[in-house]
């Protein structure tokens, strides 16, 4: 989340018009066939530890700054709520370890329960990863704020969210490293469809690049550690677990209504300003780039209370998988832009008593779908073995393949289930 900028949910951004595009171009996981980054160290999938409770003394480094305004990437159900303006942060001290109460013959005894292994695991992760995490301060013509980023190459390349750097158009970006050094940064490239961007600092020595894990090996229940600058508090470490994987989440705003990610869901505390920072496993390797949080809206209803939105952490955060992040970052560094796999349809969510899926509204002439015999009105219910629950699921399922892949599709036409094979193509860069 970009502290001091805007709430980041799942509906179009009010400042930018919605651009009707092929929904299959809305967000695509990485090309499986792409070579791995030569500059990114990738460790083999770790043996996953059991879920760990957050340690009572997570480290935090650097200065403490509060931004005047926030940008919050926030997704509520399938809608994103945009918000901005000033805010104040309240802090409650938690200076006691977790406790266990037991009944004894003489009464109730309370014993502190702290797992040394849990504390050491999180402390080790923080010590290893903190030097690779940066704070990004953005000042634009209309707004300013703070986000996070992760060093991906020791020659100055830093990965963050597109919505973090978008506000810098016509303005400046400053990167602060964990050792306090502050350096101006320039934009290398951005991809709104995946909500990712790469920036670069020049002439900075001694940078420590993060190590990326294979996000396909992430399992539900494993330890997840987030590092970033929530509310401008740089070097903040929070812990939790991976709550779910392959969660289609629309994080786009009207600035880009296409941003759909096949997210890793976590209950790790993620707040405005965490956007662009890493989600790490127990080995300190990046498994995702934090991008969005769910929000809860409270309406008036019969109570007569005014409507409100809780924009802070509620234990439902979303991260872009590391494999997607690596693939897009590679393209941005090489080309300044990224392309994605597409099916060649425009569609919408569909459900009735018998079927649910993505209904085709139109097909691109000569595109993969048309060539496979699909047409408007067909309801796609499965792609390459993955159930399609709606258009967002279709988007991420398509983007989980490379251009040229031949994939089976199951669809319903006139109440009858049919199958076809489509050959996916690459979208134009931009």
> 336: helix, coil or strand?
coil
How are beta strands 7-8 and 72-73 bridged, if at all? parallel
The catalytically annotated residue of 118, 195, 262, 392 is 195
The answer to whether residue 337 is catalytic is no
Q: What is the DSSP string of 149-211?
A: EEE-STTSEEEE-HHHHGGGTTSEEEEE-TTS-EEEEEEEEEETTTTEEEEE-SS--S--PPP
Q: How far is residue 406's CA from residue 420's CA, in Å, rounded to a whole number?
A: 10
- Give Cα 174 to chain centroid, integer Å: 22
Residue 24 falls in the annotated catalytic set: no
What's the rounded Cα separation, in Å, for the pair 324 and 344?
Answer: 21
**Rounded-to-integer distance, Cα 25 and Cα 344, Å:** 8
Could you confirm whether 334 is annotated as catalytic? Answer: no
Instruction: Indicate which residue of 58, 193, 275, 339 is catalytic.
Output: 275
Q: CA 170 to CA 181: how far, in whole Å?
A: 24
Q: Which residue has the tokens 């869901």?
A: 265
- The C-alpha atoms of residue 344 and residue 368 are separated, in whole angstroms, by 6
Q: Are 109 and 133 in contact (CB under 8 A)?
A: no
Q: What share of the chain is helix, strand, coil (3-state, %, to 5)?
A: 15, 35, 50
Phi, psi of 334, deg, nearest 5: -80, -35
Catalytic residue among 13, 163, 340, 401: 163
CA distance 387 to 398: 12
Distance CA 47, CA 358 (A): 37
- Yes or no: say if 125 and 225 are a contact pair by the CB < 8 Å rule: yes
Give the dihedral sign, CA 309/313/317/320.
positive
Q: Which residues are catalytic?
A: 163, 195, 275
């Amino acid at each position: 989340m970009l502290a001091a900028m805007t709430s980041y949910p799942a509906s179009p951004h009010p400042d930018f018009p919605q651009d009707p595009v092929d929904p299959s171009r809305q967000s695509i996981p990485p090309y499986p066939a792409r070579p791995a980054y030569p500059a990114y160290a990738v460790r083999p999938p770790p043996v996953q530890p059991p879920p760990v409770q957050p340690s009572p003394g997570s480290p935090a480094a650097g200065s403490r700054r509060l931004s005047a305004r926030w940008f919050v990437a926030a997704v509520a159900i399938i809608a994103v709520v945009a918000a901005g303006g000033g805010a104040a942060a309240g802090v409650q001290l938690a200076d006691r370890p977790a406790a266990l109460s037991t009944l004894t013959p003489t009464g109730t005894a309370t014993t502190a329960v702290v797992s040394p292994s849990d504390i050491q695991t999180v402390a080790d992760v923080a010590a290893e990863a903190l030097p690779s995490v940066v704070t990004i301060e953005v000042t634009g013509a209309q707004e300013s704020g703070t986000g996070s980023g992760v060093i991906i190459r020791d020659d100055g390349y830093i990965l963050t969210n597109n919505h973090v750097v978008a506000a810098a158009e016509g303005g400046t970006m400053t990167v602060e490293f964990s050792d306090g050094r502050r350096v101006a940064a320039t934009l290398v490239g951005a991809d709104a469809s995946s909500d990712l961007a790469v920036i670069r600092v020049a002439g900075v020595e001694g940078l420590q690049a993060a190590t990326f894990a294979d996000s396909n090996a992430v399992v539900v229940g494993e330890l997840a550690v987030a590092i970033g600058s929530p509310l401008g508090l740089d070097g903040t470490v929070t812990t939790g677990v991976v709550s779910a994987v392959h969660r289609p989440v629309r994080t786009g705003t009207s600035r880009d209504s296409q941003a759909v990610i096949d997210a890793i869901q976590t209950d790790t505390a993620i707040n405005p300003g965490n956007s662009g920072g890493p989600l790490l496993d127990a080995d300190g390797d990046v498994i995702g780039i934090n991008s969005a949080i769910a929000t809860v809206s409270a309406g008036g209803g019969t109570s007569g209370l005014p409507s409100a939105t809780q924009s802070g952490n509620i234990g439902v955060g979303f991260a872009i998988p590391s494999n997607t992040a690596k693939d897009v970052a590679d393209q941005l560094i090489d080309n300044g832009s990224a392309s994605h796999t597409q099916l060649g349809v425009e569609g919408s969510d569909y459900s009735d008593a018998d079927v649910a899926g993505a209904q085709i509204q139109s097909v691109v002439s000569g595109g993969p779908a048309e060539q496979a015999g699909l047409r408007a009105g067909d309801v796609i219910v499965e792609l390459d073995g993955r159930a399609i629950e709606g258009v967002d699921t279709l988007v991420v399922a398509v983007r989980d393949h490379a251009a040229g892949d031949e994939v089976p599709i199951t669809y319903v036409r006139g109440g009858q289930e049919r199958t076809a094979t489509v050959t996916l193509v690459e979208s134009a860069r931009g």
